[in-house]
Amino acid sequence: MKLNDITRGTGLESHGITNANVIYWTPTTSTLYEQIVKRREGLISHMGAVAVKTGHYTGRAANEKFIVDEPTCHDNVAWGKVNRPFEPAKFDAIYNRMCAYMHGSDLFVQDCFAGADKVHRLPIRVITEKAWHSLFARNMFVTATSEELENHSPQFTVIDLPSFHAVPAIDGTNSETFIIINFARKVIIIGGTSYAGEIKKAIFTILNYLLPLEKKILSMHCSANVGKNGDTAIFFGLSGTGKTTLSADPNRSLIGDDEHGWDDRGVFNFEGGCYAKIINLSKEAEPEIYETTRRFGTVLENVAIDTHTRRVDLNDDSFTENTRASYPVTHIPNVVKSGCGGHPANIIMLTCDAFGVLPPIARLTPEQAMYHFLSGYTAKVAGTEAGVTEPSATFSTCFGGPFMALNPTVYGELLRAKIAKHKVTCWLVNTGWSGGPYGVGSRMKISYSRALVNAVLDGTLNAGSFEKDAFFGLDIPSACAGVPGEVLNPRNTWADKAKYDATSTKLVGMFKENFEKYAALVSADVARVM
């Protein structure tokens, strides 16, 4: 064991952390496995992945996230329901108590990078009290080499203490849980939740603020892959729309599955790993991702495991439907090791339309692309929340609203300029319902979505003929190999055509109502798309 692997209570003074007990400095995966088992944080499954539980929070605590309102960021942040302001003095008080709380504690420190592009990457430090959170950070960010660690100087630090709870009446938080970003102090503090996704999404928020503002780089909530001819494709989409699934293509190399930047040279991954939703994952439908759940180094979140056989059940949602696997991107066989690709030839915007009225694929004009990018539409299905009896539209701007610190039009204008400069073809893909809404129709087959995406990427779909949709103004292809003709136009799949027309009209109205907040900020040709 190297001398700097474990130290006792030194090295974190610059963060105000003193009198800690044992500090594990950038520990290896094997070391973290040992500590996870020793501390009874998780179980090793029969094929080598480690299974953990996140407790009360099995997803992001969206209402508990804040940004410290201080002079360096006050005029830049788009304050509102997503970016809630927090008082600097209140932050300092919580931070100081957290530092005192760590006295005598064992801590895990990962020094790593956010960003595969060495020109733009951000040196970060992740300090955790749980070993499995350190393994999560090691998986999700870009690991530093031994040589890079010698001079690693973090520009942002995450301190994650699930067992530390805020006192709302004193601290100004909404609950005992908090995720607070301080741009001036270059630190993020997380407490009261064990859901590891808060760590990666907090860093994503940081990059979404810094890169567009300081470097005019478009930050994107998207996956990306590249074909054998060097053609890059990016896939925008919210959780559950198929972003990870459709980008994990055995015939193409994966750049990354969730977060990317787009600069003057092309696309680059923000992360060093993947965080895939794996409920009902099957070997037949998603073989590459399935195999990652059986690999040493993978963290399985809230996946059911037999405590005797140590076999996992990927179909069991007894803990949550949001079961996740965190694994290094190298667990995928076809991967771009550099994490970088060229300018995209195609942009695919994914939606899961539970109303069942959007076509399985449509070609977008540049104006439509910006409209749908700013809209970020998908839909919740009935039954997912108490009292929800029909599909519920969700609009998350830029397909990542909770993580966008700046005004959405900043990202939209960057995207529009890049689409024009690099002559990118844009598409809207519906992986949701066909033949009727949720409860009446059926979910689009993955095989159909893959066939459509493959036809986009090989150029055959764009070269074919199209017809105009009467409600959304979208160009729908007339034919695609591997997809029944009647599926391409959703109206043809509905038995009750009048019901389809009424539902389409209703959804168009929802789009228009949501877009009103952007209408005065975009050009007239974008505002009148619908």
Which residues are identified as catalytic?
Answer: 60, 201, 221, 239, 243-244, 258, 324
C-alpha R_g of the chain:
23
Give the whole-angstrom CA distance, residue 524 versus residue 355: 28
DSSP string, 57-99: -SS--GGGEEEE--TTTTTTS-BTTTBEEE-HHHHHHHHHHHH
**Residue 443, helix vs strand vs coil:** strand
- Closest by CA to 371, choosing from 220, 516, 208, is 516
DSSP string, 317-386: -SS-S--EEEEEGGGSSSB-TT-EE--EEEEEEEE--TTS-S-SEEEE-HHHHHHHHHH-EEEEPTTSST
Give the whole-angstrom CA distance, residue 124 versus residue 107: 16
Residue 316 near residue 303 (C-beta atoms within 8 A): yes
Give the whole-angstrom CA distance, residue 117 versus residue 138: 17
Residue 140 near residue 273 (C-beta atoms within 8 A): yes
* Residues in CB range of 40: below 8 A, 6 or more apart: none
Residue 343 near residue 422 (C-beta atoms within 8 A): yes
Residue labelled with tokens 């741009």 = 183
Tell which phi-psi region holds residue 266, choosing left (phi > 0), alpha (psi between -120 and 50) or beta: left
* Residues in CB range of 31: below 8 A, 6 or more apart: 5, 24
* Alpha-carbon separation of residue 172 from 87, 253, 368 (angstroms): 8, 46, 41
DSSP string, 134-157: HHHHHHHSEEPPHHHHHT---SEE
Residue 327 near residue 140 (C-beta atoms within 8 A): no
Give the whole-angstrom CA distance, residue 323 versus residue 303: 6
Give the whole-angstrom CA distance, residue 279 versus residue 290: 11
